[in-house]
Amino acid sequence: MNIRKLTEADYTALEKWWKAWNWPPIEKDFLPENGTGGLMVQSKDGTPIVAGFLYMTNSKAVLLEWIISNPEYREADRDAAITALIIGCENLVASVGKKYMFTIGRNKHLIKKHKDLGWHVDEKPSYEIIKKLKN
């Protein structure tokens, strides 16, 4: 597998993935670095498998968010790609001197994956609370 930084060209594919999973596409200006602030995991042949975004902060904390996978990729290494994405994000965050990572999730598979990787998971549900301001 190959892990790389997201590019401008990836956004079109990510929009399709969000729609295929019945999520509203996340607007580029809501994403870090206008949609390029994250990582993509690809198969050995270059097929995009999974991506996630890293919101850097002015503290020692980073938010890992909007993890999305290619709904058409059904190979056996899909689960390993998700693991590789999270570990790749952890390594990148540590390499820039950050100390904490957090995320918000409701997908049971992703919650279990984070637990398996040593993340603390609060058992009380929480909600994303977002407001788009007029400009």
| pLDDT, tens only, 36-91 | 999 999 999 999 999 999 999 999 999 999 999 999 998 889 999 999 999 999 99
Residue 121 forms part of a structural domain: no
CATH number at residue 85: 3.40.630.30
Nearest to 107 by CA among 68, 76, 74: 68
In 3D, which of 32, 35, 1 has the Cα closest to residue 15? 35
Q: Is residue 42 part of a domain?
A: yes
Phi and psi of 95, rounded to 5°? -70, -20
Give tens-digit pLDDT for 47-56.
Answer: 999 999 999 9
Residue 68 lies in a domain: yes
Residue entry with tokens 């409701």: 106
Tell me whether residue 106 is in a domain.
yes
- Does the residue 135 lie in any domain? no
